[in-house]
């Protein structure tokens, strides 16, 4: 073990670096004999920086993720292997703005210090898979974060997020769980492609702030690189379901505009309902949101012009969360069996009704 390593980092930068590493470090099943929950930390001189950077790396036998964070001070050379979960827990609980990591596994922040367990660097698995990347594109990570709530964790073909770019350069970012769907449409100049971002990669994207990434992929592997991290992961080969048939064209009915904050508050209160809530018109035309199961009834000062609608309150709330304005525009379906549609600019959400 090299004891020379002594790296001091901004605590907030350290938390941001470790957060996306944790999901990959905990994914491995049936391989407890290998220390796959470890993170390799190295300090090295970077040509783009007058000081040093700390490089964090985790490889779990399938995925490999590397993150670089500028240091405020460093003594090198040196590398140490620490547990991701333990280091992240310490960084989140520390109060001092700086955290120092030493080569013997000692981690210090202000007056608090803790000796974390280390493992021999020789025990850490190395990435040995040969990877080829025939395709590449710049992808919008914010669009992925905006639709990720609608994906399904239990079915592999719907557990990720689909990126689909057509010949005109229009890219659709899509997620669905079979009961709802979220779509972001962006115009650009990207080449035509179709790429299913795996669920664990979506987890990294949700944890690590970045607006866009350079994606490269082949038949088996995906490489995703931003200014701060580089992720390589296998592609599942699953086929995303045909989503365009689910998104209806504009209904031939007037849209309904509801106050976003008030609607979200009511839906949050009804979050524990198992059967759903009903949206309908009051006698004077306002919108009534009722949940008989919880004895909840709320009035929104906005006109409801459609038929009574039963809906899952969590699904509708999560769809509304991605709206940026003061109002939520709903397009009620012509019949009770057709989906409810929410649209705002390049964002579209579809929620299937429930029978009440």
The verdict on residue 195 lying in a domain is: yes
Beta bridge partners of 26: none
The verdict on residue 244 lying in a domain is: no
Backbone region of residue 48 per phi and psi (left: phi > 0; alpha: psi in -120 to 50; beta: other values)? alpha
Q: Is the pLDDT confidence value at 35 over 50?
A: no
Q: Which domain range does residue 113 map to? A: 6-123
Q: Which of 123, 152, 184 is the last residue of a domain?
A: 123
Whether residues 317 and 270 share a domain: the answer is: yes
State residue 39's pLDDT score: 62
Number of domains in the chain: 3
Q: Is the pLDDT confidence value at 28 over 50?
A: no
The verdict on residue 246 lying in a domain is: no
Q: Which residue has the higher pLDDT, 238 or 260?
A: 260
The verdict on residue 128 lying in a domain is: no
State residue 324's pLDDT score: 81
Whether residues 192 and 213 share a domain: the answer is: yes
Q: Which of 78, 94, 123 is the last residue of a domain?
A: 123
The verdict on residue 242 lying in a domain is: no
Whether residues 292 and 338 share a domain: the answer is: yes
State residue 143's pLDDT score: 92
Q: Is the pLDDT confidence value at 1 over 50?
A: no
Whether residues 146 and 230 share a domain: the answer is: yes
State residue 181's pLDDT score: 92
The verdict on residue 163 lying in a domain is: yes
Whether residues 102 and 176 share a domain: the answer is: no
Return d(Cα 28, Cα 41) in angstroms, integer: 20
Q: Would you say 53 and 44 are in contact if contact means Cβ atoms under 8 Å apart? A: yes
> Of 268, 300, 295, which Cα lies nearest the Cα of 284?
300
Overall average pLDDT of the 220-237 stretch: 85
Whether residues 166 and 210 share a domain: the answer is: yes
**pLDDT band at residue 319 using 50, 70 and 90 as cut-offs:** very high
Q: Which of 95, 123, 151 is the last residue of a domain?
A: 123
Residue in the block written with tokens 């998104």: 247
Whether residues 222 and 330 share a domain: the answer is: no
Whether residues 230 and 269 share a domain: the answer is: no
**pLDDT band at residue 3 using 50, 70 and 90 as cut-offs:** low
Whether residues 101 and 147 share a domain: the answer is: no
The verdict on residue 129 lying in a domain is: no
The verdict on residue 164 lying in a domain is: yes
- Cite the beta strand spans of 62-147 per DSSP E: 64-70, 73-75, 79-83, 98-102, 106-109, 112-115, 135-140
Return d(Cα 231, Cα 58) in angstroms, integer: 10
CATH number at residue 324: 3.10.150.10
Whether residues 296 and 211 share a domain: the answer is: no
**pLDDT 10s digits, 103-123:** 888 899 988 889 988 877 776
Whether residues 115 and 205 share a domain: the answer is: no
Residue in the block written with tokens 């209806």: 248
Q: Which residue has the higher pLDDT, 130 or 337?
A: 337
Whether residues 32 and 112 share a domain: the answer is: yes
* Helix (H), strand (E), coil (C) string for the chain: CCCCCEEEEEHHHHHHHHHHHHHHHCCCCCCCCCCCCEEEEEEEECCCCCCEEEEEEEECCCCEEEEEEECCEEECCCEEEEEHHHHHHHHHHCCCCEEEEECCCEEEECCEEEECCECCHHHCCCCCCCCCCCEEEEEEHHHHHHHHHHCCCCCHHHCCEEEEECCCCCEEEEEECCCEEEEEEECCCCCCEEEEECHHHHHHHHHCCCCEEEEEECCCEEEEECCCEEEEEECCCCCCCCCCCCCCCCCCCCCEEEEHHHHHHHHHHCCCCCCCEEEEECCCCEEEEEECCCCEEEEEEEECCCCCEEECHHHHHHHHHCCCCCEEEEECCCCCCCCEEEEECCEEEEECCCCC
Q: Is the pLDDT confidence value at 317 over 90?
A: yes
């Amino acid at each position: 073990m090299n004891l020379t390593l002594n790296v001091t980092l901004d605590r907030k930068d350290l938390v941001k670096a470790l957060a996306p590493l944790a999901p990959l470090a905990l994914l491995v099943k049936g391989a407890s004999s290998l220390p796959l929950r470890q993170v390799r930390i190295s300090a090295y001189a970077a040509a783009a920086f007058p000081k040093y950077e700390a490089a964090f790396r985790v490889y779990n036998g399938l995925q490999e993720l590397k993150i670089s964070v500028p240091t405020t001070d460093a003594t090198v050379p040196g590398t140490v292997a620490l547990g991701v979960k333990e280091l992240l827990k310490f960084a989140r609980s520390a109060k001092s703005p700086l955290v120092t990591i030493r080569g013997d596994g000692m981690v210090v922040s202000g007056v608090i210090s803790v000796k974390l367990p280390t493992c021999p660097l020789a025990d850490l698995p190395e990435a040995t898979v040969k990877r080829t990347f025939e395709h590449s594109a710049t992808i919008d990570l914010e669009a992925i974060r905006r639709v990720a709530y609608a994906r399904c964790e239990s079915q592999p073909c719907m557990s990720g997020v689909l990126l689909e770019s057509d010949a005109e350069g229009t890219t659709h970012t899509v997620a669905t769980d079979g009961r709802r769907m979220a779509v972001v449409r962006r115009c650009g100049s990207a080449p035509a492609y179709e790429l299913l971002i795996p669920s664990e990669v979506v987890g990294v994207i949700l944890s690590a702030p970045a607006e866009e990434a350079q994606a490269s992929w082949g038949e088996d592997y995906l490489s995703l690189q931003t200014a701060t991290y580089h992720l390589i992961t296998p592609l599942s080969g699953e086929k995303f379901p045909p989503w365009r048939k689910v998104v209806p064209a504009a209904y031939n009915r007037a849209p309904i505009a509801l106050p976003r904050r008030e609607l979200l508050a009511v839906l949050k209160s009804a979050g524990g309902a198992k059967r759903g809530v009903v949206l309908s018109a009051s006698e004077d035309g306002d919108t009534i949101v009722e949940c008989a199961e919880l004895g909840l009834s709320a009035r929104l000062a906005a006109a409801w012009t459609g038929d009574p609608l039963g809906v899952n309150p969590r699904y509708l709330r999560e769809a509304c969360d991605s709206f940026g304005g003061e109002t939520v525009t709903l397009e009620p379906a012509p019949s009770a069996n057709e989906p409810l549609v929410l649209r705002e600019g390049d964002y579209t959400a579809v929620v299937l009704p429930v029978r009440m």
